[in-house]
Amino acid sequence: MELDELLARRLVRDQFPAWADLPVTPVEVGGWDNRTFRLGDELSVRLPSGKWYALQVAKEQRWLPVLAKGLPLPVPTPVALGRPALGYPYPWSVYRWLDGRSANTAPIVDHTRFATDLAGFLAALRRIDATDGPEPGKHNFFRGAPVEVYAEETLRAIDALGAEIPRDAVRAVWDDAVASRWTGAPVWFHGDVAVGNLLVRDGRLSAVIDFGTSGVGDPACDVVIAWTLLTGGSRDAFRRALDVDAATWARGRGWALWKALITLVDALERGEEGTLPRRDIRRVLADAAG
């Protein structure tokens, strides 16, 4: 099924007639796990693109209003819950619209300020009561579990890449990542702190979106942004502000390395160079080397 604005418009008209006359338009970055469309000036429609992603709908509807109360920046606010209909097989959501452009396209005025603002947001998220929060599982692709959950996939990627990567250095970083476990109480984490989920206005971090992979557990997966966006002083500022211990930082490197390795394999299979995953691998290895 084509997840386009026509489908979004039909679903809205079928289930929420009060909004039937509002225009439905694509957004700048529509998403992969979910397709997002703007509904009028104040709302957005979010359609899961697959069965596992649909597991996230009830979680976001349940927990986003709770999390929002303890966070220093806006997050998506659920307005309505849609049901499967018109051949579309999954539940879906209507949210309040959040202004801003994603950090992968919007200019950031001060990367160090951006990094500390993001760290403050994540620290606040971790302080929210995690009682009864969703543990790692299929709903969030096991974010918050030990990074070793992806060991088979990671080692297979290392073998497949061969001379494309410095295998010994990569394996050392991976082994370091899986050598420890989170020993504290489970805490809230976002699960996908990526440039596409960070909104920017006037050069500053203005909102954090897409809590589909959120949950409670080990927060190490949330430090991946340190190597996919931040560098040098801004990375150091992020780590200081978040107060991350060495073991959690190492596990975060493991999460970043896993994603970069499998992304590079996919790129090479498509005949592409894989510039971004290669960059991220270099950053992770350089950080580990000190």
Which pLDDT tens digits describe the chain residue by residue (290 residues)? 789 999 999 999 999 999 999 999 998 765 668 999 999 999 999 999 999 999 999 999 999 999 999 999 999 999 999 999 999 999 999 999 999 999 999 999 999 999 999 999 999 999 999 999 999 999 999 999 999 999 999 999 999 999 999 999 999 999 999 999 999 999 999 999 999 999 999 999 999 999 999 999 999 999 999 999 999 999 999 999 999 999 999 999 999 999 999 999 999 999 999 999 999 999 999 999 98
CATH homologous superfamily of 5-98 = Phosphorylase Kinase; domain 1 (3.30.200.20)
Query: In this predicted structure, what is the pLDDT of residue 171?
Result: 98
What residue ranges do the domains of the chain occupy?
5-98, 102-289
Give the three-state DSSP class for 80.
strand
Residue 286, beta-bridge partner list: none
The 3-class secondary structure across 81-108, one letter per residue, is EECCECCECCCEEEEECCCCEECCCCCC
Query: In this predicted structure, what is the pLDDT of residue 30?
Result: 55
Query: In this predicted structure, what is the pLDDT of residue 70?
Result: 98
Q: Does the reported pTM lie above 0.85? A: yes
Specify whether the CB–CB gap between 197 and 208 falls below 8 A: yes
The architecture in CATH of the region 102-289 reads Alpha-Beta Complex (3.90)
Query: In this predicted structure, what is the pLDDT of residue 28?
Result: 74
For β-strands 34-39 and 92-96, DSSP reports them as unpaired
How many Cβ atoms sit within 10 Å of the Cβ of residue 200?
Answer: 21
